[in-house]
Amino acid sequence: MKPIKPIYKMIRNELDEVREGIEVIAVTKQVGVERTKEAIEAGIVHLGENRPEGFLKKYEAIGDGATWHFIGNLQTRKVKEIINQIDYLHSLDRLSLANEIQKRAEHTINCFVQVNVSKEDSKSGVLPEETVDFIKTLEKYDKINIIGLMTMAPNTEDEEVLRDVFKGLKTLQQQVAEKNWPHAPCTECSMGMSNDYLIAAQEGATFVRVGTALIGSESEAE
C-alpha cells in the first residue's frame, strides 16, 4: 500500500487550487484499523464509513480522534447502533429514517439529504423535484439539522454527465439555503469520489468523499 501522506498532500493541493476550504472525507470502508490510523497521522480529520459494522470497528479503536461521517444507506433498525457516535449522516432519504433518528438521537444530528440527481433506479435518494418539500417536512424534527445535500454521481467517465449531476445538486442546495429555514441552513454539498472529486470541486463541492484514490483497498495487491 502506498503511504497516505503524499497522496493526501497532492489531493489537498489540487482542491486548494480550485477553492479554499473544501473538506476531504477519507473513505476507509475498504481498509482496517491500522490503515485508518495512518490516515489520521497524515493529518486527515474527516473519516467516512458506509456500513455500521465497519464504522463501529474503527470508532471503537479511534473514538473522538476523528470526525465521523456515515455515508452509506442506513437501515432504520441500525440507527440506534451508530447515531450518537457519528458527527454527520450523509444519507437521509426518507421520513421513516428521520422518525427513527428523532427517537434515538441524544443531540442534534447534522444530516445531508441524499438526492438522486441522476434518477438512476439503482440509486437511493430523494428525487430532485421532491427535495425542497421533503426538507420542509423535516422542520418539526428538532434532532435533525440539514447542513447540506449529498449525491452519488453515475459511474461514467463522461465529464459532461458528471458536471450536470454536480451542478444539479449545487442548484438545489442553493434553493434550499435561500429559504432561510432555521432547521436547514443547507450550506454544504457532499459530492465527488476518487474518479471525479476535482470535477465536483469545480462545481461547488464543500465535502468530497475519497476512498480508493487516497486510502486504497486492502485487497489491492502492491
The residues of the shown chain that bind ligand PLP, judged by CB under 6 A, are 27, 29, 50, 71-72, 152, 193-194, 209-213
The CA distance from 53 to 140, in Å, is 30
Q: Which residue is nearest to ligand PLP (CB)?
A: 211
The CA distance from 152 to 78, in Å, is 22
Q: Which residues pair with 110 in a beta bridge?
A: 88, 145
For the beta carbon of residue 199, count every other beta carbon within 10 angstroms.
Answer: 19
CB 158, min distance to ligand PLP, A:
16
Cell of 186: 443547507
Nearest to 57 by CA among 85, 77, 76: 85
Q: Which residue's CB is nearer to ligand PLP, number 198 or number 213?
A: 213
Q: Which residue's CB is nearer to ligand PLP, number 96 or number 155?
A: 155
Q: Which residue's CB is nearer to ligand PLP, number 27 or number 109?
A: 27
CB 25, min distance to ligand PLP, A:
8
Q: Are 146 and 135 in contact (CB under 8 A)?
A: yes
CB 26, min distance to ligand PLP, A:
9
The CA distance from 89 to 72, in Å, is 9
CB 210, min distance to ligand PLP, A:
5
The CA distance from 180 to 107, in Å, is 22
The torsion angles phi and psi of 146, rounded to 5 degrees, stand at -85, 105
Q: Which residue's CB is nearer to ligand PLP, number 103 or number 125?
A: 125
First to last CA, the chain: 6
Q: Which residue's CB is nearer to ligand PLP, number 31 or number 102?
A: 31
CB 219, min distance to ligand PLP, A:
13
Q: Which residue's CB is nearer to ligand PLP, number 46 or number 209?
A: 209
CB 217, min distance to ligand PLP, A:
8
